[in-house]
Structure 1
Amino acid sequence: MTVFSILGVTLGVAALIIVLSVMGGFEQDLKGKMLRGQPHLEILAENPILGFSLNDVPLDQLKTAIRDGHGFSPFTQGDVVIKQGKHLAAVNLVGVDTKFDNSMWAFHETVVDGDLESINENHRPLLSLEENRSSFPGIMLGEGVAGQLGADLGDEVTILSPQAASGAVLFSGGTITRTYVVTAIFRSRIFTYDSKWAVVRLEEGRKFMPDYDPYLDIENFVTGIAVNADDPYDVDGIVSRLKAQFGQLNFRTWKDANSALLFALQLEKYTMGAILMLIVLVAVFSISGTMMMTVFHKKTQVCLMRSLGMTQKDIARLYMFQGGTIGFLGILLGLALGLGVCFILHESRYIDMPANLNSIRGLPVKFLPFEYAVICIMAFMLTVLGALYPALTASRQNPSSGLRYS
C-alpha cells in the first residue's frame, strides 16, 4: 500500500509539472508572436480616430523622453474595404514610412513576393493593355487578404473608405475610392495580420483618415507613433513617465491590446493547476488511509514502545516522519519523471502538430523553476497534513489496553 501511495504522489506531481510546462510554452510562444506582430507601445491622440500632428508632438521630443525605447515609427490606421473584380475584403489599412524602422510590425521581413520599398512608387497594372494607362501607388497585402481577393502582384485593386464624410469629399478633397497596384505580399503566419492587413505609404494612408483635407498633410497628421521598448515586459514604466510629460496623449501597450487573451491564458493555467492538484490530494488520502491501517495493525508495537518510555510526541513524530518520507519520495520521483518528460518533449522533433499550427513545429515547453518549487512545497505540505491524523491517533493509544489483548 505504501508503494501505491508513493506512486499516487509521483503521478500527481509529474502531471502538474508536465501540463504547466507545456501551457507555459504555449504562453511564451503566443507572447512572442504578440511582440513580433505589433509595437510594444502605441502613442495615440486623445481621440485615436482623428490622430494628432507631428508638428505639435515632434519625434525628437518623444525620443528624448523615452530613453529605453527604439524603433520609433509614425503610422496611420483605418478600416477600409478593398475590391478586386467581384471580390471584396474588409481590411485594416496601415500607412507607414519606410524611412523609419518598421521592425515592430508583423509584415517586416515577412514579404514573400515583391518588397516593402515598392509601396513608395507608382506602378502600372501588370495586365493593362493600354499603353498610356495611368500608374497607381503600390500596396502590400497580407497573404490571406490576397487569397480572399484572388489578387497577385501587378493586379489593380480599389480601396473604398466607409469613413469618408460626404461634406469632406465635396468641399475639401476627401477620399472615397482610390486605386492601387499590388506590389508585395507578406506572410507573417499570424492569422490576424495575414487576413486583415494591407500596407501603403504614410501619405496614402493619411488620405483615408476621417475628414481628410490637405491640411492634414501640411501638419503631418498621423494616427499614432509606434515604439519598441528595450524591455517589453517593463513597458508600463515608460507609459507612466510619458503620461506625466504628455498628458494630452493616450498610450496603448501590447498588454492592453491583448489583455483579454493574456487574462484567459493565466486563468486557464491556474485552473488547470488547481484541477491537477486534486490528483495529489487523492494521493494524500491514500497516504492517510495507508497509515491508519498501519496504526491499526501495529497497535501492539505502539503500546510496547509507549510502555518502554516513548512519549506521545515521540510516537506522533515517528508517524509524521513516515508520512513525510512517503511524500518526499513521491515528490522526488514525480519531479524526475515530470522533468524527464518535459525534456523529451522539448527536444523531440517527431510530434506531428495540426496543419493550421504550421508556425509551431512541436509541443512548446517552458521550464518553470519557481512553479516547480511551489508544486513540490504544496505537495509536501499536503502529505504532512495527511499524516497528521494517523500520527495523532497512534500517539493517543493507551499502552495498557494495547498490551492487555496482545
Structure 2
Amino acid sequence: MSYESFVGRRYLMAKQRSRVVSIITLIAVSGVALGVTALIVVLSVMGGFRADLTSKILGAKAHVVIQQPDFGPLDDANAVADRALEVEGVVGASPFIESEVMVSSPTNLSGVVLRGIDVDRVGTVTDLLENLEKGELSNLRDSRGMMERIEEERDEELEVLLDRLDKESKELRETIDAKRGATGVSDDFMPAPDEDLPPLIDLDEVSDETPQPQAERGGDEGFMPPLFDDSGAEAWDLPALPGEEGDEAGGEMPGIVDEAPQDDGRLPGLIIGTELATSLQVRLGDEVNVVTPRGEMGPSGPIPRSRPFRIVGVFYSGMYEYDANAAFTSLDDAARLLDFEGATGVELRTDNVEEVLAVGERLREIFSPELRVMDWQQMNSSLFFALKLEKIAMFLVLIFIILVASFSIVAMLIMIVIEKAREIAILKSMGASDGGIMRVFMFQGVVIGAVGAAAGLGMGLLICYLLQTVGLPLDSEVYYISTLPVEVDRLEVVAVVLSTILISFLATLYPSYQAAKMRPVEGLRYD
C-alpha cells in the first residue's frame, strides 16, 4: 500500500475533534449517491417507455416497407413480395393499400387511415390477429357467420328482456288488484276486458244513396276520382318520386357517388380500433359509411365515393393515435372502394429486429433504384429522434445533481487542507513530493465518488427491480399503460457510474493543487 492511499484513508476517518469534516464527507457521499440513483431510475423509466413504444409500433406495423419512389401504385406487388421472401432474414411479406378516408356512423364521423390487407398473408407481417379484442380476421372475407351469431345473441337478449317485462307486468297487476281489494273499489263500472265495444258506424244503416265516386256519377264535381279501377290497377298515374325506378331525374344523391354492395348482398368488412369504435359509438355488426375523395369527375370537380361497410372486428394496439385513426379491410374491398389498381406497397417482417438495417441493405441491393426500401426506424425517425433527444436532455439535467455533490467534495477537501496544514508540511519536510501530496487528496475525492456511485447504483437497481416486479400502477385511460415501464440499459448504467467518478476526480484537482504548492514553513509557522 502506497503512503498516498494510506494517508488519504486516514484523513477520511475523521477524529472526534474533526466531526465537521466527517459530516461534510457524509453529505458529499449522500449527494453523489442520490444523483446516481435519480439518473439510473429516470433513464431506465425512459428506456421502458421507448421499449414499450417500439414493441407497439412493431406489433402494429411491418419492419420494412417497399414502395414506389413517387409513392405511386405498385402493379406487381405479389411478385415483389415473393422475391423479397427469398432474401435472407425476411420471414413474411404482404401487399397493402393505404389511403385516408372518412368513416361516419349515425352518431359521429372521423377521419381515418384505411388500410387494405391481404387476409392470408397479413398474419406473417403484423400482430393484428393477436390484437383483436372482438371479432376475427376471417370476417373480412365473409361476415355472414358472424351476423348469424350476433342475431342469435340478440334474440336471446330480447327473450330475456321480454320475460322480465312480462314478470314485472304480472307483479304490477297483482299489486293493483291487491290495493283495489283493500280499498273496496268495485269494478262494475268498468267494461269487461273481453266485451266488444259497439261500432262507431252501423254498416246496415248506410243508404244506397251514399255519394259515389266521380267516375260512377257521371263527372259530378266535388268528388275525387278512384285511385284503382275494378281490376285493381291504377286508374290514373301518380308522378314518380325522385330516386324511384322510372324517374329519369331521380337516382343517386348529388355530390357523392354511392357504391352499391357486391352482387351477393354482402357488405365489406371493416376492422377498427377501440378508440375509434368508442368515438363512432358502434359495435360488431353495425354498419358505417366510408367516404373517399377518390371518385369520378363531375361538372364542379371530383365527386367523393361512398360505400357502406360492416364492423367485423375491434383491435387494441396500445397506441392511442393508432387505435383512434386506423381501419383495416380486405385488399379487394379497398381496391374496389378506392378504384385502385395494384397496391400501395409491400410490407415485410424480419426474423430479428436488431438486424433490420442489414436486411434493408440486402433489399436495396435487389430493388433499388426502381423501388424505395424503408425500415421501421426510418419510417418513425422523427418520433425516436425526439425520444433520444429527450433522454439526452434528461441526462444533462440530472447530472447537475452530481455536480452539486461535487462542490461538497471541493469544500470538504479545502477544509481538510486547511486543517491538515501541519501534517502536510511535515510530509513535505520528510521528502514527500508535490505529486504525492496531490495524490493523497485525489485519492480522497475518488473514494468519495466511488462510494457514492456504488451506493447510488445499488439503490437505483433496487428501485428499478421493485418497479419491474411490484409495479407502479397508472391510470390506463390517461397514460394508455397499466404500470410504469422500466428497462435497465447496462451501457447507460456504466456511463452514469463512470461519469460520477470522473466528476468526483475533477472536483479534487483544485484542493489537491493548493495542498501541493503549500510550503513547509507556512504549515509550521504557528507551531
TM-score (norm 1): 0.88
Aligned to 2:324: 195
2:430 aligns with 308
Higher deviation after alignment, 90-99 or 114-123: 114-123
Question: How far apart are the structure 1 equivalents of 2:489 and 2:295?
Answer: 51
Report matched runs for 1:50-129 at 5 Å. Answer: 50-54=72-76, 57-64=79-86, 66-105=87-126, 107-121=128-142, 123=144
Give the aligned partner of residue 226 of structure 1: 347
Residue identity opposite 2:41 in structure 1 = I
- The verdict on how the C-alpha distance between 1:320 and 1:185 changes in structure 2, with shifts beyond 3 A counting, is closer
Q: Whole-Å Cα distance in 2 between the matches of residues 303 and 370 of structure 1?
A: 44
How many Å apart are 1:399 and its aligned residue? 0.9
1:277 maps to what in 2? 399
SS in 2 for 1:177: strand
2:461 corresponds to which letter in structure 1? L
Change (3 A) 1:56 1:113: closer
Moved more, 92-101 or 279-288: 92-101
Name the structure 2 match of 1:37: 60
Once residues 2 and 110 of structure 1 are traced to their aligned partners in structure 2, the CA distance between those partners, rounded to angstroms, is 55
Matched position secondary structure for 2:85: helix
Instruction: List per-residue Cα deviations over 1:175-228 (Å, max 9, x = no partner).
Output: 81222222222222322222112221111111244xx36xx3xxxx11111111
Q: Deviations over 1:63-103 (max 9, x none)?
A: 22x22011211111111112223532211111112111425
1:141 aligns to 2:272 (yes or no):
yes
Which residue pairs with 1:403 in the alignment?
Answer: 524
Q: Confirm whether residue 256 of structure 1 aligns to residue 378 of structure 2.
A: yes
CA contact (8 A) 2:78 2:95 kept: no
Give the letter for the 1:95 counterpart: G
The letter for the 2-side match of 1:184 is G
Residue 153 of structure 1 is matched in structure 2 by 284
| CA deviation string 1:283-342 (max 9, x = no partner) | 111101111111111111111121222222221121111222111111111111111111
Change (3 A) 1:283 1:58: closer
Q: CA deviation at 1:275?
A: 0.9
- Following the alignment from structure 1 to structure 2, what is the Cα–Cα distance between the partners of residues 7 and 257? 44
Inter-partner Cα distance in structure 2 for 1:403 and 1:315: 16
Which residue of the partner structure matches residue 192 of structure 2?
none
CA distance in 2: counterparts of 1:55 and 1:359, whole angstroms:
36
Whether 1:340 and 2:469 are equivalent positions in the alignment is: no
Tell me: CA distance 1:56–1:383, structure 2 relative to 1, closer, same or farther (3 Å).
Answer: closer
**Unaligned stretches of 5+ in structure 1?**
none
Deviation of 1:55 after TM superposition, in Å, equals 6.5
Shift in alpha-carbon separation, 1:100–1:133, aligned structure 2, 3 A: closer
Give deviations 1:100-139, integer Å, cap 9, x for gaps.
Answer: 1425435322222221101112648989xxxx99432222
Secondary structure of residue in 2 paired with 1:195 = helix
Q: Could you tell me how far apart the structure 2 residues matched to 1:95 and 1:202 are?
A: 4
User: What is residue 26 of structure 1 aligned with on the other side?
Assistant: 49
Alpha carbon RMSD of aligned pairs, Å?
2.6
The alignment partner of 2:279 has SS state of: helix
Identify the structure with the greater strand proportion: 1
Matched residues in 2 for 1:396 and 1:262: separation?
51
CA distance in 2, matches of 1:4, 1:262: 38
Q: Which residue of 2 aligns with 1:15?
A: 38
- Residue type of the alignment partner of 2:97: T
CA shift for structure 1 position 397: 1.2
Q: Distance in 2 between matches of 1:192 and 1:106?
A: 17
Report the secondary structure of 2:282's partner residue: coil
AA of the residue aligned to 2:334: G
Q: 2:486 aligns with which of 345, 362, 365?
A: 365
Q: Compared with structure 1, are the counterparts of its residues 16 and 58 closer, same or farther at alpha carbon in structure 2 (3 Å cutoff)?
A: closer
1:121 aligned counterpart, secondary structure: coil
Higher mean alpha-carbon deviation, 246-255 vs 268-277, is at 246-255
Structure with bigger gyration radius:
2
Does the 8 Å CA contact 1:81/1:161 hold for their aligned counterparts? Answer: yes
Q: How far off its partner does 1:10 sit?
A: 1.1
Note if contact 2:60-2:126 (Cα within 8 Å) is conserved in structure 1. Answer: yes
User: 2: CA distance between counterparts of 1:274 and 1:327?
Assistant: 18
Q: 1:368 to 1:133 in 2, by over 3 A?
A: closer
AA in 1 matched with 2:67: L
Alignment partner of 1:222: what SS?
coil
Alignment counterpart, residue 377 of structure 1, candidates 498, 505, 514:
498
- Once the 2 structures are TM-superposed, how far is the Cα of residue 277 of structure 1 from its aligned partner? 0.8
Q: CA deviation at 1:56?
A: 8.3
Are the counterparts in 2 of residues 37 and 190 from structure 1 also a CA contact under 8 Å?
no
Evaluate the alpha carbon distance shift between residue 181 and residue 402 of structure 1 in structure 2; reply closer, same or farther with a 3 A threshold. closer
Find the counterpart in structure 1 of residue 249 from structure 2: none
Letter in 1 for 2:289: T
Residue 388, structure 1, aligned to residue 411, structure 2 = no
* 3-state SS of paired residue (1:330): helix
Q: Quick one: distance in 2 between partners of 1:369 and 1:197?
A: 36
How far apart are residue 398 of structure 1 and its match? 1.1
Measure the CA separation in 2 of the matches of 1:304 and 1:230.
69
CA distance in 1, matches of 2:490, 2:82: 42
The reply to whether residue 331 of structure 1 matches residue 453 of structure 2 is yes
Render the CA deviation track for 1:251-279: whole Å, top value 9, x for unaligned.
23211222111011111111111111111
| One-letter amino acid matched to 1:97 | D
TM-score, normalisation: structure 2: 0.69
| 1:205-244 paired onto structure 2 within 5 Å | 205-209=334-338, 212=339, 216=341, 221-244=342-365
Q: Secondary structure at the match of 2:109?
A: strand
* 3-state SS of 2:123 partner: coil
Alignment CA distance shift 1:321-1:87 (3 Å): closer
In structure 1, what is the Cα distance between the partners aligned to 2:327 and 2:522?
Answer: 87
Q: Partner residue of 1:5?
A: 28
